[in-house]
Structure 1
Amino acid sequence: MPLEGITVRHGRQTTRLADLHYYIAHTLGGSAGARMTVRLCCPISADTLVRRLLSRVQNTTKGTALTRVVGVDDWAWRRGHHYGTIVVDLEKNDVIDLLPDRDADTLARWLQVHPGIEIIARDRAGTYADGCRRGAPSALQVTDRWHLLKNLSDAFVSILDRFTTTVRTLTRQMNVSTVVSKISETIRAHPEEAQAVVRSASGERRDILFKEALALKTAGHSIQAIATTIGVERKTVRRWFQRGHAPPWKRTVPSRSILVPYTAHLEKRWSEGCRNSRQLWRELLEQGFAGQYGTVWKWVATRQGCSAKLVPSAHVVAPRGRRLARLLLAEDPLSAGQEGLLVPALLEAEPHLAVTLCWLRKMQTLLCKRGDTCTGGDLKALLEEGKTTLLSRLIPALERDAAAIEASLVTPWTTSPVEGQISRLKMIKRTMFGRAGFELLRARVLQPA
């Protein structure tokens, strides 16, 4: 006669020991669980652990009749080849079931077997929308707002490729520096005045930067944002504001060069076509020159217009793709530095892009709201307005999913807990080194019986 609650008929272990083996198998799997049972002084083989785990998997879905809100999403059994579906109880944050594929028919059959589900949170995949509609027609479908924002962002990035030529042209215009051109021309014409021109041009450049900084300060920007925009240190900008002007160079008169007595000879040899700095240096040595070769080399380099003391312009690389999209969608483009100056020029050159960007920001504002401040009328008006933008091809799909989008604006349900359970599923799958089948993976992902 069996002992109730202690053992079962023909059992060779107590119920308590069988439960311990089951929980070890559920947590660690077969091989790792077998090693743990040795340390716990209740050894058992890995195959037996797996059998005991699979024998109880049918009892893990008894509580689904009480489930009211679920979230569904796909998970990759093999990325790019084979996917499954995970169903999560959003109220308890527990995995209810795993499905072997992500077909609409499979999800519809599962929902028909589990009636009583009132709310289904999902992404914007048409397969899940169709499966939910057929399997639970009375349930409220809620699309995930993060996935919707991502779809809008991807669509916006795809249309930015049309404006690559305009972006490159505007960036090239931004990189043109009149100060550098003036210095280069003066150096080629009068190399002996190169240092003075550099300093005077640098002073002019600082005056221009100070005026820009003053204008940005008047507009209400912080010192850090101003410094990033004009390319000057934050402490320097603060010192300029304290003094009320950009300070001049402390050293205004250049020192006399050792080459001055030999300038006539160098100019003569240069006009004759001699460009060899070492040859010129040897000739100067014969005339009593006491300087080093580097002094003559610097003169030749300056004469050729490649002096290392030129004031460099702020070179901006033309942004593309997501980098350009982030720049356009930023709340304060000036915080991006020199690239931020590209935004107003681009929107002025491309009015259609400006309209699309304005509409996209309205959609982002709407989707980031919560509670009763959002209404279906706001969404319908925005979708109607979107038909005149460059993202008009996305509007029909959004209109078909309008009911689920409206539900996401007034309900707190999202697929974020589902994403967390998918991360846990991936961890469990990888600990089995790809040798486990679907049934064993499902038994370990579901909550213990």
Structure 2
Amino acid sequence: MHSSYWRTLKDLPWQDRSVAWRVKVRRFRCSHCPGRIFAEPVPGLTRAKAQRSDRLAEAQTDIGMALGGEAGARLSRRLAMPVSGDTVLRLIRRCKSAGCASPRVVGIDDWAWRRGRRYGTIVCDLERGRVLDLLPGRACEPVRDWLAAHPDIAVVSRDRAGPYAEAARLGAPQAIQVADRWHLLVNASEALRSLVERHQAEIREAARQAAFQDAPAAIVAVAPADPPPEQDTGHGGGRRRQRCETALRLHGEGVAIKTIARTLGASRNSVRRWLRVGAFVPYRRAPAPSRLDAHLRFVEARWQDGQHNAAGLYRELRAIGFEGGYKIVQRWAKRRRRGLPTRPPSARIPSTRRIARCLTSDPASLPPADRRFIAALCALAPRLQAAAEQVRGFGAILRARDPAALKPWLEAAAASELGGFVAGLRQDEAAVHAAIGEPWSNGAVEGQVNRLKLIKRSMYGRAGLNLLRQRVLHAA
């Protein structure tokens, strides 16, 4: 024996009191060993150079995995196991991943470090419902290398992103690729929305016709029958057209959306909307609502009764709660007296998202106002109605899980205005076919992404990939 020394080891608390062990450790000398002097180990209690017992380190690591650094340190102090936040993070990083069986069915999806700027990739075991790994970025190469390192993979569930499809083809050529069914429905809805945005004139006319159906008969009689011609109205119409055409040209040359937006001084969402539509859509501002709209039935009935005096109509309107001015009533009476068409009741034009949802919904489930609007729109734009029917048919195929119906649907939909969407499906037809027939989807992966976001935000977005990976893989 060479000498001895004392070690102080912190341990689990007893009766809400911190506990520390004073351990006398002997040093030995060996002239035949590479290290001539060495200390005896303390098996079952701690490791070399550690200042806490293994069980205390395990408890503090579990707290850190669940709460993070500073929050874990606060709870540890409350439980009589004082530790600093930095030490908790060091324990988390030092924790080794538990070994697991080679996965057979994996799901791959992206997640946002910072939306629109920086992304990562999550890989999950769909059979066991657990996260396997977090990868930097969402490019093809890291995913390809990870898949190649796991040759037992038989099924890869993914969204329809091109890099993931290429990574699965190169890294796991033996695996069946399955496109996510939810993303397929989203892509179909986006294709229909882009078609809706190209029919602004028909949408405005359908909104007017739906409003006329609730208006007095005299107003309905003077409603315009044909949609107004497309024209650039309002200020800046020519400039909007020029910016849209420039964006389309730059995108065709391979310029990134971010660069196009910076060049044109437009937002990236505006550039994406122009590219999604694929052409300039003239903009016409909808008529502003009038305070007289709510009382048109009353004034029309009083006019039919012989009350043609604007001042008298105004007094009667004030008596029933009208809050507008006399000039509004005077202008209405003047146009009515001359036999001119009175101002139709203003109608709020639904958003393209709402229109697309109504087009793909069962008409019997829609409110009466939406049902009238959709009926008018389908009468004015039959090709839009045909495209909506194709989207409903595609959704029915996914819900019925009928792979045999996919090919006839592709042939029928190719003749509609959904040609671009159909072309994209044909490029990935094997994965789409598997999505209909196979039971796997990325739903479990989306749930893990939500949990990942919760953990990331609990650390205020300051965690690096290694720390975030440790907490996601080991979180209870």
TM-score by length of 1: 0.68
Aligned match of 1:72: 108
Q: Residues 253-292 of structure 1 correspond to what in structure 2 (within 5 A)? A: none
- The separation in 2 between residues aligned to 1:160 and 1:42, in whole angstroms, is 62
2:206–2:380 contact (8 Å) kept in structure 1: no
Aligned-pair distance for 1:6? 2.8
Aligned to 1:443: 470
Equivalent residue runs for 1:55-204 within 5 Å: 55-56=94-95, 59-60=96-97, 62-63=99-100, 65-176=101-212, 177-181=215-219, 198=301
Q: Do the aligned partners of residues 313 and 37 (structure 1) sit closer, same or farther apart at CA in structure 2, a change above 3 Å counting?
A: same
Q: Secondary structure at the match of 1:435?
A: coil
Bigger strand share? 2
In structure 1, the residue matched to 2:46 is 7
Q: Any idea what SS the aligned residue of 1:60 has? A: coil
Deviation at 1:369, TM superposition (A): 2.0
Aligned equivalents of 2:205, 2:139: Cα separation in 1:
48
Aligned residues between the structures = 343
The one-letter code sitting in structure 1 at the alignment partner of 2:149 is V
What is the CA distance between 1:428 and its match in structure 2? 1.1
* Greater Cα offset, 125-134 or 29-38: 29-38
| Matched residue, 1:405 | 432
Is the contact made by 2:193 and 2:353 (CA closer than 8 Å) also made in structure 1? yes
The structure-2 alpha-carbon separation of the partners of 1:414 and 1:318, relative to structure 1 and needing over 3 Å to count, comes to: same
| CA distance in 2 between partners of 1:422 and 1:300 (Å) | 58
User: Identity percentage over the alignment?
Assistant: 38
Measured against aligned partners, the alpha-carbon deviations of 1:179-224 in whole angstroms (never above 9, x if no partner) come to 344999xxxxxxxxx99983897xxxxxxxxxxxxxxxxxxxxxxx
Question: Aligned-pair distance for 1:129?
Answer: 0.6
CA drift at 1:3: 4.2
Residue 89 of structure 1 deviates from its aligned partner by 1.2
Post-superposition offset of 1:172 = 2.5
Whole-Å Cα distance in 2 between the matches of residues 36 and 196 of structure 1? Answer: 71
Q: Any stretches of 5+ residues in structure 1 without a counterpart?
A: 185-193, 202-253, 255-262, 282-292
- Structure 1 window deviating more from structure 2 (16-25 vs 348-357): it is 348-357
The structure with more radius of gyration: 1
Taking the aligned partners of 1:196 and 1:95, their CA distance within structure 2 comes to: 67
What's the C-alpha RMSD, in Å, of the aligned pairs? 3.6
| Residue equivalent to 1:40 | 79
- 1:130 and 1:353 map into 2 onto residues whose CA distance is 34
Q: CA deviation at 1:347?
A: 2.3
Range 151-160 or range 424-433, more displaced: 424-433
How big is the shift at 1:430? Answer: 1.3
Query: How do 1:229-378 and structure 2 match up within 5 A?
Result: 316-332=347-363, 335-370=366-401, 374-375=402-403, 377-378=404-405
Distance 2:88 2:327 in 1: 84
CA 1:4 to 1:347, structure 2 compared with 1: closer, same or farther past 3 Å?
same
Distance 2:457 2:149 in 1: 31
Return the letter of the residue paired with 1:198. Answer: A
Is contact 2:378–2:384 with CA below 8 Å preserved after alignment?
A: yes
Give the unaligned 5+ runs of structure 2: 1-39, 223-296, 320-325, 335-342
Q: Distance in 1 between matches of 2:346 and 2:372?
A: 12
Distance in 2 (alpha carbons) for counterparts of 1:32 and 1:148: 41
Alpha-carbon offset, residue 178 of structure 1: 5.0
SS at match of 2:400: coil
**How many angstroms does 1:30 deviate by?**
1.4
Amino acid at match of 1:69: V
Specify the code of the residue in structure 2 equivalent to 1:416.
Answer: G
- AA aligned to 1:368 is R
Q: Is the 8 A contact 2:180 2:442 kept in 1?
A: yes
Structure-2 separation of matches of 1:306 and 1:395: 54
Can you list the C-alpha shifts for 1:365-392, whole angstroms capped at 9, x where unaligned?
001224xxx12x3111111111101010
Change (3 A) 1:16 1:321: same
1:240 alignment partner in structure 2: none
**1:50 is aligned to 2:89:** yes
Report how far residue 332 of structure 1 moved: 1.7
Distance 2:473 2:328 in 1: 75
Q: CA deviation at 1:429?
A: 1.1
CA distance in 2, matches of 1:19, 1:334: 56
